[in-house]
Amino acid sequence: MKSEIIQISDDLFLKLGKMLTERYGIKMSIEKKIMFQSRLQKRLRELNMISFDEYAIRLLDSNLGTEEFSVLADFISTNKTEFFRESAHFDFLTDIVLPQFQKQMPNYRISQMKIWSAGCSSGQEAYSVAITIEEFIRTSGCNLSYFITATDISTRMLKAAKEAIYPMEQVDEISMELKRKYFLKSKSSNDQKVRLVKEIRNKVRFGYLNLMDDLYELKDDFNVVFLRNTLIYFEQAVQIEILTKVLDRLVDGGFLFIGHSESLINMNLPIRSIAPSVYVKKI
């Protein structure tokens, strides 16, 4: 039997939407009501709830609310990602960023290159960076040391990212040579999966970080930041606040990558454009 759709009123949607925007920056205009309602059906059923009013009580509960908001953000945020997404960025890393870093390394104060994938979803972006750097090291013969920090608000995505196990189709577009080197194949023939090799997994540390937080609790400053396809979900004023905090953690002369459909026009930030959706922090 088909179960009935549980409806949310405009008022309650706007109230919860406002709270979500305040906590996570996610834009929540009334056009998103149907999406919100349909994505939350599963969660309400998991909790045996029959109305959004009941769900709102859980969200506002002082004990359960914080955790439930994070579950809610998980249900409604878009986690779409893929290996080597917007591949020109990985070519730019190989052709411009890594040779520059290699040249500077002997006189550089920091001997390890540090990269941050902010809004990393299930990890494919961070692992694509690691593979790109490994290939650069192999072909150039240089002795470059690096480490990648990858952060997100979705605990579900972070768990998947740490496991680094993906359906086989996700690596369809990757060359056979790279697949052989960096991915292990599952033994089961009816559920084909791949897993990143340990050497690559060990190069990335995943952790929770809400870009809306006032202070980013990160150990390092970074030479390269990937902040791609994440800003798009925020209002422009919030984007500027986030970019200001992110740029604070980028070293002078460091590189910022944003998504191809995102724009930093008229934001007056201390960066200059160097290639499509790639910026350098001004010295």
Ligand X SMILES: C[S@@+](CC[C@H](N)C(=O)[O-])C[C@H]1O[C@@H](n2cnc3c(N)ncnc32)[C@H](O)[C@@H]1O
Among 230, 246, 251, 257, binds ligand X (CB under 6 A): 230
Output the six-digit token pair for 150: 């990858």
Q: Which stretch binds ligand X (CB under 6 A): 33-41, 106-114, 222-230, 265-273?
A: 222-230
User: Please, which of residues 83-122 interact with ligand X by CB under 6 A?
Assistant: 85, 119-121
Q: Which is nearer to ligand X, 10 or 169 (CB)?
A: 169
Q: How far is the CB of 127 from ligand X (least distance, A)?
A: 11
Give the HSE-up count for residue 209: Cα atoms under 13 Å, Cβ half-sphere.
23
Q: Does the protein bind ligand X through residue 239 (CB under 6 A)?
A: no
Q: How far is the CB of 256 from ligand X (least distance, A)?
A: 13
User: Please, which of residues 248-277 interact with ligand X by CB under 6 A?
Assistant: 259
d(CA 69, CA 243): 24
For 95-125, give the DSSP string.
IIIHHHHHHHGGG-S--EEEEEEES-TTSHH
d(CA 240, CA 238): 5
d(CA 196, CA 185): 9
Residues 85, 125 contacting (CB under 8 angstroms): yes
d(CA 182, CA 195): 8
Among 212, 264, 274, 275, binds ligand X (CB under 6 A): 212
Q: How far is the CB of 23 from ligand X (least distance, A)?
A: 8
Place of tokens 């009816």: 190
What mask, x for binding ligand X by CB under 6 A, covers residues 132 to 161? --------------------xxx--x----
What mask, x for binding ligand X by CB under 6 A, covers residues 154 to 193? x--x------------------------------------
Q: Give Rg (Cα) of the chain.
A: 21
Q: Which stretch binds ligand X (CB under 6 A): 23-31, 38-46, 97-105, 262-270?
A: 23-31
Q: Does the protein bind ligand X through residue 210 (CB under 6 A)?
A: yes
d(CA 93, CA 136): 9
Q: How far is the CB of 140 from ligand X (least distance, A)?
A: 26
Q: Does the protein bind ligand X through residue 78 (CB under 6 A)?
A: yes
d(CA 139, CA 129): 15
Q: What residue ranges bind ligand X (CB under 6 A)?
A: 24-26, 77-81, 85, 119-121, 125, 152-154, 157, 210-212, 228-230, 233, 259
